[in-house]
Amino acid sequence: MHILYAIQGTGNGHLMRALDVVPLLRQQVEALGGRLDVLVSGPPADLPLPFTVQYRVDGMGFLFGKKGGINFVKTFRQFNSAGFMHDIRKLPVERYDLVINDFEPVSAWACRLRHHPCVALSHQSAVLHPTAPRPTQEDPAGRAVLRYYAPSTAQYGFHFQEYAPGISTPVIRRQVRELTPTDEGHYTVYLPAFDEQTLVERLRYLSRSVQWEVFSKHSQQPADYGNVRVWPVSGGDFLQSLARAHGVLCGAGFETPAEALFLGKKLLVVPMKQQYEQQCNAAALDKMGVPVVRGLKDKHLDRIDDWLHRGQPVRVQYPDQTGAVLARLLAEQLGVGPPALARAL
């Protein structure tokens, strides 16, 4: 039995989930007498990966802008369509009994073109489920991107709540589950679609008495601006800031809001512009009672100020069920019987 697990490496969210998924999946696959290979697509990751990667490909990612959205000009300029097609043709998906895909386009389209099964194990597949929350203003183009970016033949999803069978609560990585949350009064900020200057200006304008700890993809070294301290993105520093925070201000991605909720932090999200997945996430979080603002312009600052003074954490229960989800996927997709499944667990 030979299995390929393919991960979208753009941003840190998919890779953070992989920190738990890969060792658990490898353990279960090897218990069944098989072997697991890993593919990562996209630019070099901010996070070090503690597992071997057999395939690295450029993939097809999106580049963050500096004003709250995606920089589509840079995204299209950096996309190498000839290289993308070459990687699709070269990837030997037919060698694998099963391809498991976390929103990774090269392996997904290689499977599609060879009529080979590709099983989605991702947040995006849950977002597309008919029962998952949607924004009031639909975005057909954005929905089409989610559906066809990494096509699949079967879907297993993760979301903020279990909206339907086959949708599980988030994978909270072991590093976060082992944290001891405290409250040292500061606010942790991760808004990668805004540049450092904009964040510092807006946060200092909001309050000079609040301590802000900002993690910026656009910064190369730490810097102090009075009550705003900025760090480059770093897994260890970010986790410690998150554990000690009073509140978290971040984009409407999936992993960071889920981890903030799990740690009992009060949360406010700013969904990226022109990013349908984040608009759907914002709709889901809003239904749960998490405040959502649409940007950092002056018209939004009163809402953020109200959250600073009166916001409260939203309580969630996110049990550790990653191993059970993986075992169910292998059982259903490979026809693994109860005795073998018990060994894998």
The per-residue pLDDT for range 307-331, each reduced to its tens digit, is 999 999 999 999 999 999 999 999 9
Q: Do 142 and 270 fall within a single domain?
A: no
Long-range pairs of 196-200 with CB within 8 A, sequence gap ≥ 24:
196/223, 196/230, 198/66, 198/67, 198/296, 199/228, 199/230, 199/296, 200/225, 200/228, 200/230
Average pLDDT score over the chain: 90
Q: Which tokens sit at 315?
A: 């309580």
Residue 343 pLDDT grade (very low, low, confident, very high; cuts 50, 70, 90): low
Q: What is the pLDDT of residue 217?
A: 81
Q: What is the pLDDT of residue 161?
A: 98
User: What is the CATH number for 232?
Assistant: 3.40.50.2000
Q: Do 60 and 73 fall within a single domain?
A: yes
Q: Do 140 and 22 fall within a single domain?
A: yes
Report, as an integer, the average pLDDT of 239-252: 97
Q: What is the pLDDT of residue 14?
A: 87
pTM of the model: 0.89
Q: What is the pLDDT of residue 73?
A: 47
Q: Do 80 and 182 fall within a single domain?
A: no
Long-range pairs of 232-237 with CB within 8 A, sequence gap ≥ 24:
233/12, 233/46, 233/190, 233/192, 234/46, 235/12, 235/46, 235/47, 235/48, 235/175
Q: What is the pLDDT of residue 71?
A: 46
Q: Do 178 and 156 fall within a single domain?
A: no
Q: Do 15 and 163 fall within a single domain?
A: yes
Domain containing 74 equals: 2-170+319-344
pLDDT single digits (tens) 113-154: 999 999 999 999 999 999 999 999 888 888 888 999 999 999
Percent of the chain with pLDDT over 90: 74
**Phi (first) and psi of residue 100, to 5 degrees:** -105, 130
Lowest mean pLDDT of 8-22, 75-89, 286-300, name the range: 75-89
Q: Do 339 and 291 fall within a single domain?
A: no
Q: What is the pLDDT of residue 62?
A: 56
- Angle CA 249–71–143, to nearest 5: 80
Q: What is the pLDDT of residue 48?
A: 75
Lowest mean pLDDT of 31-45, 55-69, 231-245, name the range: 55-69
Q: Do 123 and 190 fall within a single domain?
A: no
pLDDT single digits (tens) 153-207: 999 999 999 999 999 999 999 999 999 999 999 999 999 889 999 999 999 988 8
Number of domains composing the chain:
2
Q: Do 152 and 236 fall within a single domain?
A: no
Q: Do 107 and 8 fall within a single domain?
A: yes
Q: Do 127 and 14 fall within a single domain?
A: yes
Residue 42 pLDDT grade (very low, low, confident, very high; cuts 50, 70, 90): confident
More reliable by pLDDT, 23 or 11 = 23
Q: Do 100 and 191 fall within a single domain?
A: no
Q: What is the pLDDT of residue 338?
A: 52
